Amino acid sequence: MRGEIEFRGSYALLKVYLGPGERVKVEPGAMVYMKGPVNVETSTGGVWKALKRAVLGGESFFMNTYYSSGDGEIGIAPELPGDIETVHVNGTLFVQSTSFLACDAQVDLDVSFGGFKSFFAGEGIFLLKLQGYGDAAISSFGAIKILELQVGEKITIDTGHVVAFDGSVNYSVRTFGGIKSTLFGGEGLVCDFTGPGRIYVQTRNYPAFVEWIKSLVPRETGSR
């Protein structure tokens, strides 16, 4: 996937260049513009996989594949304000559902069990699972920081800040501290990662941001 990221930081946009016969899978609704002899093909990619993506992974039932008969260009942007990073998939990459943006056509998109209810702070117990060899584009809420773990190296990350991680990384989800810390400490769930591999984290917590907005909305008291 040949591309270029513009406006890095809060409002990033990915330009993908397509040559004759080249194809790229794109998250539905992410296309900003397309230029040149570019066409789109909408399909499920297999009914069973589509059902798993929609019901379990929180994704669209359909997937858009853009292809070109000549030199074309597509502009892609995520729903949330934040950054974009292109990642080379070399086997398996796990991604939270709101962070998937695009990938090479030969990369397979499925879902995988995440191991804990409310994994990724509200994203559900399933993760998007990208398999194969090629490039993928992921997006974040805020900036993206890449953490490279060596063999046996460990790190603990708040689940609301995890964007993606390599399949070579071992992980387990747990509550933060005891019951009091989980309920009143503001952390909730955390994920323990053990290397080797890459972990992509976002500097802002989308679920926490949503809860903050809800706290500003006046609540009905029941009286009129």
For 134-178, write each residue's pLDDT tens digit: 999 999 999 999 999 999 999 999 988 999 999 999 998 888 765
Which of these, 62, 7, 60, lies nearest to 32 by C-alpha position?
7
**In which domain, by residue range, is 77 found?**
2-213
Q: Count structural domains, the chain.
A: 1
Residue that wins the pLDDT comparison between 28 and 124: 28
Q: In the structure, what pLDDT confidence band is assigned to residue 57 with cuts at 50, 70 and 90?
A: very low
pLDDT score for 126: 64
CATH code for the domain in which residue 62 is found: 3.60.160.10
pLDDT score for 61: 46
Kindly tell me if the per-residue pLDDT of 114 is higher than 70. Answer: no
Asked if 59 contacts 51 with a C-beta cutoff of 8 angstroms, the reply is no
pLDDT score for 30: 94
Tokens of 144: 């993206």
Tokens of 155: 């790190």
In a domain, 224, yes or no: no
In a domain, 177, yes or no: yes
Kindly tell me if the per-residue pLDDT of 38 is higher than 60. Answer: yes
In a domain, 50, yes or no: yes
